[in-house]
Structure formats: structure tokens, C-alpha cells
Amino acid sequence: MFGCLVAGRLVQTDAVQVSSDKFVFNLPDYENVNHVVVFMLGTVPFPAGMGGAVYFSFPDPASGGGAVWQLLGFITNDKPSAIFKMSGLKAGEGGAHPFGMMASSSSSPSVAQVGVSVEALDQLAQQIPVSSAAVSTVDSFLHFTQKMLDSLYNFASSFAVSQAQMTPNPSETFIPSSCILKWYESFQRRMTQNPNFWKN
């Protein structure tokens, strides 16, 4: 139903369902995470009049290692994805949350969680996310997309070999790096012209 993308590094679609209306993703090495994208997979919509409140939890040494939860924002059928800035969140600034002890963070000090709580839209409208998590401007979206494109290109390029180095392998398909570069430049140009072109 949901997915979570840690900017430029990891896509998760295996949320753990901790109750009938609550789901969590584990985020290892969260200290090095700058942005997280939470999105609907497009397979199961929210029920009519419902959406998902998105929370972030991390271990807080000040509270004896207990989890601190912060409301980041929400997703709905009309807004099926959202980008959240993680680097500005601070320990000790947690608030009320619907997860209780069901989704306590791992005992590891470097594992955090993103939680999605299915709630009524009128309840979501009354909630106030932490201001430092807001990433809703076009510039922020363009910045995230640029970083994601860079990451894909760098990752694909790390496997590059010359024709002389290629070993025939009938089960492997090779794609010229020039094709990736051409796609990269085209996508980047279209994003600059219209950040919402991918919605069509």
C-alpha cells in the first residue's frame, strides 16, 4: 500500500503492519538521511474520507533510549506522495502520536522508523506537523530529483566496462552508458521546464 524512499539510497515497499490502520518502515543509519519520500504504491487507495498521517521516530538517549515521534505531514489519494526533510529534526521535540508502544524503535541506536497512520481527512487537517520537516516547494522537489538522477547515473556508471572488457553472457543485457546519459539529460531538461511533467 505504501512505499518509502530514502533519498538517493534505498526504496522500501515492505511496510510492517503493526495494527489494522498503522504501518512502519525501519530506517537504518538515519543520522545520514537528509530526505525521505513516502508514497502510495497505487495498488490500494485510502478508503473514502481517509488519508495517512506520516510520523518519524528515532531513539532518544535523553529519554533512556525510548522512541521520540514527530508528525511530518500526510499523504492522501489526491496527494499520493510527499517529501520530508529529516536533517532538521531534533531530539526531544516529539509530541502526541498514535503508535503507542506498538512500533518502538529497534534497540540499535542507528535505526529510526517512519510510520503511516490511516486517519480521517478532517483529523489530518487539524494536525500541525513539525515545521522543520516541510519540503513542499518546487525548488526542493527539483533539488531532490536532481540528487536522485545523480545517484542513478553514478550508480549505473560504476558498472561501466569497455567493449574490450566485456565477457559474453547470454543471460545479461548491456545498455550503452550513452543511453543513460541521454535519458538523464532529457529528464533534467523536462524537469526544469515543467516540474510536473511526469504527472501526465
The Cα diameter of the chain in Å comes to 62
In this prediction the pTM is 0.62
Q: Give, for 48, the enclosing helix (H) or strand (E).
A: none
Q: Which amino acid type is present at position 186? A: S
Give the separation between CA 22 and CA 199, rounded to whole angstroms: 28
The closest alpha carbon to 16, from 105, 89, 87, 120, belongs to: 105
Q: Which amino acid type is present at position 13? A: T
- What pLDDT, on the 0 to 100 scale, is given for residue 148? 79
Residue with cell 489519494: 77
pLDDT greater than 80 at residue 61: no
pLDDT digits (tens, 9 = 90+) for 67-98: 778 888 899 998 888 888 877 676 555 566 66
pLDDT greater than 70 at residue 5: no
The three-class DSSP label of residue 11 is: strand
Edge-first strand listing for the sheet containing 16-19 = 16-19, 22-28, 111-120, 50-59, 67-75
Strand partners, 68: 58
- The mean per-residue pLDDT over the stretch 149-165 comes to 81
Give the separation between CA 96 and CA 139, rounded to whole angstroms: 31
pLDDT greater than 50 at residue 106: no
Q: 115 phi and psi, to 5 degrees?
A: -115, 145
Please tell me the least confidently modeled range out of 3-7, 13-17, 67-71, 129-133: 3-7
Give the separation between CA 44 and CA 3, rounded to whole angstroms: 12
- What pLDDT, on the 0 to 100 scale, is given for residue 99? 74
Give the separation between CA 66 and CA 58, rounded to whole angstroms: 8
More reliable by pLDDT, 58 or 104: 58
CA atoms within 13 A on the CB side of 152: 16
Encode burial over 57-93: b for 16+ CB neighbours within 10 A, e otherwise. Answer: bbbbeeeeeebbbbbbbbbbeeebebbbbbeebeeee
pLDDT greater than 90 at residue 3: no
CB 123 within 8 A of CB 50: no
Encode burial over 106-124: b for 16+ CB neighbours within 10 A, e otherwise. Answer: eeeeebbbbbbbbbeeeeb
Q: Which amino acid type is present at position 71? A: L
